[in-house]
Amino acid sequence: MIEHDPATPRLQGLFTALATPFTTDGESLDLERVPSLIRRQAAGGAAGVVPAGTTGEAPTLSEREFRDLVEACVAAARPHGIKVVAGAGSNSTAHAVHLHQLAAACGADASLQVVPYYNRPSQEGMRRHFMAVADSCDLPVVLYNIPGRCGAGLDPATVARLAEHPNIVAIKEASGSTDAVTEITRRCDLAVLAGDDSLTLPMMAVGAVGVVSVVSNLLPDVVASLVAAAGRGDLPEARRLHHRLFGLSKGLLSLEVNPVPLKAALARLGLDSGSVRSPLAEASEATRRAIEPLLREAGLLGGAASPRVEAVPA
């Protein structure tokens, strides 16, 4: 087993996959919203935020927007002592290296590096890709395994080989497989973060140390409490919170493609992050209706269907 270097802080706990705040028409970033988004996460107990990931509609961001967004998140996060893990992956190795270095220049604490999508590389191709990124600068790398989006996925044996690189410190495991988490934690000491909210508790039960969460855009305190309960072995409390979040966790990722339902839910709660950006379309009326009972079940709406969530003041 490869032992974790104690000199490198271990990524664990709640990391919120931030929805990118756009203007109402989706044409521009709304960076003025970033400080309040970060304050809510810090107040809720998040260990960090992940801008420019899947939930952040990364493929639609220009390089200038990527830089501006990451810099804004870093500036807002620093006073609260939470980390910024910038989504900086690409299906071009050269471009992934470039974005990784740019994330470092912006002051990010790590970069999230997705499996190259569309290309469908072999395991050896993936290994070479991630090694090139990790070799390019000292910024820590979080691998991102999400075969449903990419058409290819990392095998645990490949993850274990990559874990030998000192700059590769964690993996967001979004394959939906607790067996994959078990295999990874049996083979190496890489920090595993669950990549699906509904699997946070099951994955932590077999060795994950936290989650990169979508639902925590809405309920950072509850998700942080779930992670903390699971981490200390308080199964009854962790199970209670898991059940509270389960319907919303499934609905936000199944009613329509992420982050369409999430942004509809944020708007419903008075936490509007603007439009999704083309080629995504706004949530259908059927999706908006379906979200309502899920928000109630999670405790986000009162009996009169009025929002219970308030923005953290400046």
Maximum CA extent, the chain: 56
Distance CA 29, CA 259 (A): 16
- On the question of pLDDT at 307 being above 90, the answer is no
CATH of the domain at 197: 3.20.20.70
Q: Does residue 154 lie in a domain region?
A: yes
The domain total for the chain is: 1
Nearest C-alpha neighbor of 99 from the set 153, 51, 55: 51
Secondary structure element (H or E) that encloses residue 210, with its range: strand 210-213
pLDDT reported for residue 41: 98
Domain annotation covers residue 64: yes
For the question of residue 263 being annotated catalytic, the response is no
103-126 confidence digits (pLDDT tens)? 999 999 999 999 999 999 999 999
- What does the alpha-carbon distance between residue 1 and residue 71 come to, in Å, rounded to a whole number? 36
Q: pLDDT for 152-205, tens place per residue?
A: 999 999 999 999 999 999 999 999 999 999 999 999 999 999 999 999 999 999
pLDDT in tens, 143-154: 999 999 899 999
Any domain includes 281: no
Element holding 212 (H helix, E strand): strand 210-213
Q: Enter the pTM of the model.
A: 0.93
Q: What is the mean pLDDT of residues 83-89?
A: 98
142, part of any domain: yes
Catalytic residue status for 172: yes
Asked if the structure places residue 2 within a domain, the reply is: no
Locate 20 and state its tokens: 């990118």
Could you tell me the residue range of the domain that residue 191 belongs to? 13-232
Does residue 47 fall inside a structural domain?
A: yes
Which entry of 118, 172, 250, 263 is annotated as an active-site residue?
172
Q: CA 269 → CA 29, 218, 263, 300, 311, distances in Å?
A: 20, 9, 10, 8, 10
